[in-house]
Structure 1
Amino acid sequence: MTDLDQLTQSLARNLKRWRAERGYTLDALAARAGVSRGMIIQIEQARTNPSVGTTVKLADALGVSITTLLDYEQGPQVRVVGPGEAVRMWSTEAGSHTTLLVGAEAPGPFELWDWRLMPGDESASDPHPPGATELIHVAEGELTLVVDGTEHRVPAGSSVTFEAKVAHAYRNDGDEPVLMTMAVSIPLGH
């Protein structure tokens, strides 16, 4: 593979990755960058090698440096957090607890939590910054998720996502523990 082929492949991979991380559709990125949707598709499929100007526009629209967008030598950064390294953040005498499993700063704080919520227990949260998102998967029990005063039942095997910019709470109204995993993403700069 030539250097140009490697660069084209790297740009395709990185553009897809950063667009997904930012949550941009093809149309949204095209509008932000002033680059046609068709050009972005061709770049993401590694069918074209765009001009430097187009690449700079895309990098600016994604909020990354052109170096980051073109980088193909730096491998993925991996950090393994062993069971003994996870951080217990909250617990009650009844046995409820949360554990921060792992976190990252891409593009802002991004955390993965393990929750055990005992029957009758509740944990309330203040609003997070605008743009914050939470994703929850309930493995056992039934979670009562309260978002901005509205209750949502989330049974075992179900997942839920919500904008966490309003007050919210996690409650177990059942008679068995709720076991769930939660991911929290806070936008950059908050």
Structure 2
Amino acid sequence: MRSELADAVDARLAARLAELRAERGWSLDDLADRSGVSRSTLSRAERAEISPTASILNRLCGVYGRTMSQLLSEVEAEPAQVVRTADQTVWEDADSGFVRRSVSPPHSGLRGELVEGRLAPGADIAYDRPPVPGLEQHIWILEGALEVTAQDVRHRLATGDCLRLRVWGPTRFRCPGPEAARYALVVVLP
């Protein structure tokens, strides 16, 4: 007897397989021609009527240009919908006066995350490059003032202001004071 967990994974896998085919604009016949898997088997797999074998998944991964590990990681368990305060990781860099709370941490099934940042008056943090080129950021000032420099342009932000940008190179965050700056940072993978 199959477990509910196995059924849920098969349902997410079926949905992901259908998404991959739709993203390419292929019909079931197109995919059958490319993969060597029968149209009926593909149809049943995309509707979660069957669980595809390792051999079938391997063929589909080859067509979609991914490893089986990549495909399976794309269908891992859904992230928790509620992230309780106690589960939000807080990291502090006492030397720079920076406190970072991971309000909605990254998850392989999601492209965005939400961070709360706090900078002490006078704090100045420079990053030489983004972790991912083209990273989308939205910086909303909740309290205080913040100077953000990106692509050699300095933006002076006050409470309520929001800066939206894609990060390609060095950035700098500076709290001019006299009070601390608290901001929400939304990070979206390209």
TM score, norm. by length of structure 1: 0.55
Q: How many residues align?
A: 134
Q: Partner residue of 2:144?
A: 141
- Report whether the alignment pairs 1:118 with 2:125: no
Q: 1:120 to 1:70 in 2, by over 3 A?
A: farther
Q: 1:107 to 1:140 in 2, by over 3 A?
A: same
Q: Partner residue of 1:178?
A: 181
Which has the greater radius of gyration? 2
The residue correspondences of 1:19-168 to structure 2 (distance < 5 A) are 78-92=80-94, 95-105=97-107, 110-128=112-130, 129-168=132-171
Shift of 1:108: 6.2
Equivalent-residue separation in structure 2 for 1:172 and 1:53 (angstroms): 58
Where structure 1 has 5 or more consecutive residues not aligned to the other structure, the ranges are 1-13, 19-31, 36-50, 55-65
* SS of residue paired to 1:151: strand
The RMSD of aligned alpha carbons is: 3.8
* SS of residue paired to 1:104: coil
Where structure 2 has 5 or more consecutive residues not aligned to the other structure, the ranges are 1-14, 31-42, 49-77
Equivalent-residue separation in structure 1 for 2:163 and 2:29 (angstroms): 40
Q: Partner residue of 2:74?
A: none
**1:126-156: CA deviations, max 9, x gaps?**
3222221111110111110011332111111
Amino acid at match of 2:102: L
Is the contact between residue 99 and residue 119 of structure 2 (CA under 8 Å) also seen in structure 1?
yes
Equivalent-residue separation in structure 1 for 2:148 and 2:142 (angstroms): 15
Counting aligned pairs with the same residue, the percent is 21
